[in-house]
């Protein structure tokens, strides 16, 4: 099975309602005729429903949430459940983004619960992981990444791996303008695929798309995507400009 090629845009806590509408509409227009590349946008939660309507007739264009609650429902003020996200028309959810791990102290235990909630509501996951700079400098990056993957994904049901996407996001390259070199990205992605084959099976590992995230942009996407085990990108800053996002989409 050929792996899906994917360009995902993590808009984080940016854009007004009108800006979000314009950006999604513009991406939709510009991506007409771009075949075989799956596009996923992750806007702030209040825009999910509006943007789901924009993409509903598109074959390869989806909307996802940047987070979901680990709880099913109840007295959790301010939280949004996977079921609510799905009912707003979204198809994906990010789990394990470094900003959630860092600023909201999300633990592996919570990530496992979030994945369970998402799968119960038929949402697909992009599971994010990656090492901090001090871990790379101390040569602990492989160990760190392996631990993040194994501790969470060993609970992920094998029969749903055809829907699983994962994103390697070296924390030192997120929002910093620093990018992993194509050689660093390929080295880690190959290691990740080997780890996936240990968690699931070699056959399954070959089918899971591994995205690169961390200052991927219109200038470096082509080189990064030319690496054998890089199947696309999870883009932050550069996903806020339709033009750049579309250049990235055309970089395979
Ligand atoms: P960046 O963010 O592209 O702005 O570095 C990537 C991400 O956090 O997903």
Q: Encode pLDDT of 48-92 as tens digits.
A: 999 999 999 999 999 999 999 999 999 999 999 999 999 999 999
Q: Would you give the distance in Å from CA 112 to the centre of its chain? A: 16
In CATH, what number is assigned to the domain containing residue 92?
Answer: 3.20.20.70
DSSP, collapsed to helix, strand or coil, labels residue 85 as: helix
Overall residue count recorded for the chain in this entry: 252
pLDDT reported for residue 1: 61
- Token pair for residue 173? 């390259």
Residue ranges around ligand 1 (CB below 6 Å): 10, 169, 174-175, 213-216, 234-238
- The DSSP element (H or E) to which 109 belongs, if any, is helix 108-120
Q: Which of 66, 92, 177, 235 to mutate to test the pocket of ligand 1 (most atoms within 8 A of CB)?
A: 235
* Count of the separate structural domains present in the chain: 1
Q: β-strands 5-10, 210-213: how paired?
A: unpaired
Q: Would you give the distance in Å from CA 65 to the centre of its chain? A: 10
Task: Tell me the pTM.
Answer: 0.97
Q: Chunked in runs of 10, what are the mean pLDDT values of the chain (252 residues)?
A: 92 98 97 91 98 94 98 98 98 97 97 98 98 95 98 98 97 88 97 98 97 95 97 97 96 96
- Among 73, 94, 95, 75, residue whose Cα is nearest residue 84: 73
Instruction: Report, as residue numbers or ranges, the catalytic residues.
Output: 97, 169
Domain encompassing residue 211: 5-249
């Amino acid at each position: 099975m050929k792996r899906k090629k994917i360009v995902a845009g993590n808009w984080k806590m940016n854009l007004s309602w009108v800006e979000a509408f314009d950006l999604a509409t513009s991406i939709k227009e510009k991506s007409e005729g771009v075949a075989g590349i799956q596009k996923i946008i992750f806007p702030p939660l209040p825009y999910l429903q509006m943007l789901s309507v924009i993409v509903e007739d598109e074959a390869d264009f989806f909307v996802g949430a940047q987070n979901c609650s680990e709880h099913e429902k109840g007295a959790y003020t301010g939280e949004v459940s996977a079921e609510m996200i799905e009912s707003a028309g979204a198809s994906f959810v990010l789990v394990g983004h470094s900003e959630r791990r860092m600023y909201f102290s999300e633990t592996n235990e919570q990530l496992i619960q979030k994945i369970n909630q998402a799968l119960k509501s038929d949402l697909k996951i992009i599971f994010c992981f990656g090492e901090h700079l001090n871990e790379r400098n101390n040569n602990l990056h492989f160990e760190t990444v392996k631990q993040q993957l194994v501790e969470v994904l060993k609970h992920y049901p094998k029969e749903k791996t055809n829907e699983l996407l994962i994103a390697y996001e070296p924390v030192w390259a997120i929002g910093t303008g620093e990018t992993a070199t194509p050689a660093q990205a390929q080295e880690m992605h190959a290691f990740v695929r080997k780890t996936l084959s240990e968690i699931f099976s070699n056959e399954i590992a070959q089918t899971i798309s591994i995205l690169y995230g961390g200052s991927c942009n219109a200038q470096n996407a082509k080189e990064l995507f030319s690496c054998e085990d890089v199947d696309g990108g999870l883009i932050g800053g550069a996903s806020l400009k339709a033009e750049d996002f579309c250049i990235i989409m055309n970089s395979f």
